[in-house]
Amino acid sequence: MSKQELVVLGRDGVEGCCPALLAAPLDDGQAEALAKVFKALGDPVRLRLLSMIASRAGGEVCVCDLTPAFDLSQPTISHHLKLLKQAGLIGSERRGTWVYYRLLPEMTDRLAATLTRPAGQPLSEATPAGAAS
């Protein structure tokens, strides 16, 4: 990973964004930063784009290969990609006519860690039968 990438991640608040959600109450700043990333993921088009980018063999995808998969305009797709990028989930590089996107797995790794239960926190076995009603 390049130094520039680390700086970009740091600037976007990745370090601060992903405390352990399940271990202690978040403060306002932590909640704001983390909510921005989850909000970026809270859209089906953006999730499809992210999954297409993340799963592509070779690690990157030309925007020209993403757009045809959707019944949406190029500017709309670009807007969704911009939101994913602002959230620190993907990076991009222009080469010639096209922009190429790739996953920034540091962010998804951090989100996964954020959602992981603290060690030693089992499923409650004392759940009342009607508790989920």
- Minimal distance in Å, beta carbon 77 to a second copy? 14
Cβ-based nearer residue to a second copy, 36 or 78? 36
CB of 75 to a second copy, least distance (A): 20
Interacting residues with a second copy (CB under 8 A): 1-2, 4-5, 8-9, 21-26, 28, 31-32, 34-36, 38-48, 50-52, 54-55, 59, 69, 91-93, 102-106, 108-109, 111-113, 115-117, 121, 123-124, 126-133
Q: Least CB distance from residue 64 to a second copy, whole Å?
A: 16
In sequence order, the 6+-apart residues with CB closer than 8 A to the CB of 106 are: 1, 9, 14, 88
Question: Which CB sits closer to a second copy, 26 or 62?
Answer: 26
